[in-house]
Amino acid sequence: MLESFGVINIWTYIAGLVVIILAPGPNSLYVLKTGSTLGFNAGYRAASGVLIGDAILILLSYLGVASLIQTSPILFTIIRYLGAIYLLYLGGSLIYSNWIAKKGHSSSPKVKQERVFRKSLMLSLTNPKAILFYVSFFIQFIDFNYEHTWISYSILAVILEVVSFTYLTMLILIGSSLSRYFRQNQTMAKAGNSLLGLIFMGFAARLAAIN
């Protein structure tokens, strides 16, 4: 189908991609959380951070940087711990903001949206699983005998971004529907955010424990 552009086994790639994207992870959970607590527009801010982060990682894979990170234990360990620390920070901040922080003043919506984008981008770029994905899975579907492999990378990248955008849109719509319920039930909103905070901290612990 796309062999003339250096892409092989495209349907296997799409099937594997869907399974990987549907698997719960920090990025998708953060988009769902943002959509449910801050609304539709903020949810898309979070989604855009994830998509741009993926695009950057794809570019790094094409340039060979992702392979260098994988083959350098020290560099990969640094990124792994940075990711764990960031997930721990997100989880702790969710619990703190819901149960400990005083609500005397609130940030403006613009500041919140800017932080949403930055947080989701950082989640993407400090995710060692994503680096391993682009090194070990992504490149299996590229024919490196093809002269212009950047075209192959671009085709696979576009497919990934479309599937990811579709899935994240579904999460945003679900989250936006939940936001109306959470606005009427603050206790449930606090409990949901705290549970998500604990899940992020669990991701951090699992990431730090990887050998």
Q: Is the pLDDT of residue 99 over 70?
A: no
In a domain, 66, yes or no: yes
Region class of 198: left (phi > 0), else alpha (psi between -120 and 50), else beta = alpha
Query: Over the chain, what is the mean pLDDT?
Result: 79
109 falls in which pLDDT band (50, 70, 90)? very low
pTM over 0.85? The answer is no
In a domain, 9, yes or no: no
Read off the pLDDT of residues 185-195 as tens digits, 9 standing for 90 and up.
666 666 766 77
CA 51, CA 96: separation in Å to the nearest integer? Answer: 28
In a domain, 17, yes or no: no
| Contact assessment for residue 123 and residue 30, using Cβ atoms and an 8 Å cutoff | yes
Q: Give the structural domain span for 114.
A: 41-209
In a domain, 6, yes or no: no
In a domain, 138, yes or no: yes
| Contact assessment for residue 32 and residue 175, using Cβ atoms and an 8 Å cutoff | yes
Read off the pLDDT of residues 126-143 as tens digits, 9 standing for 90 and up.
877 677 777 677 778 888
In a domain, 12, yes or no: no
Structurally, the chain folds into a number of domains equal to 1
Collect contacts of 18-26 with beta carbons under 8 A, ≥24 apart: 18/163, 20/133, 20/137, 21/160, 21/163, 21/164, 21/167, 22/167, 25/127, 25/129, 25/203, 26/87, 26/90, 26/123, 26/127, 26/200, 26/203
Predicted pLDDT at 94: 72
In a domain, 23, yes or no: no
In a domain, 14, yes or no: no
Predicted pLDDT at 210: 65
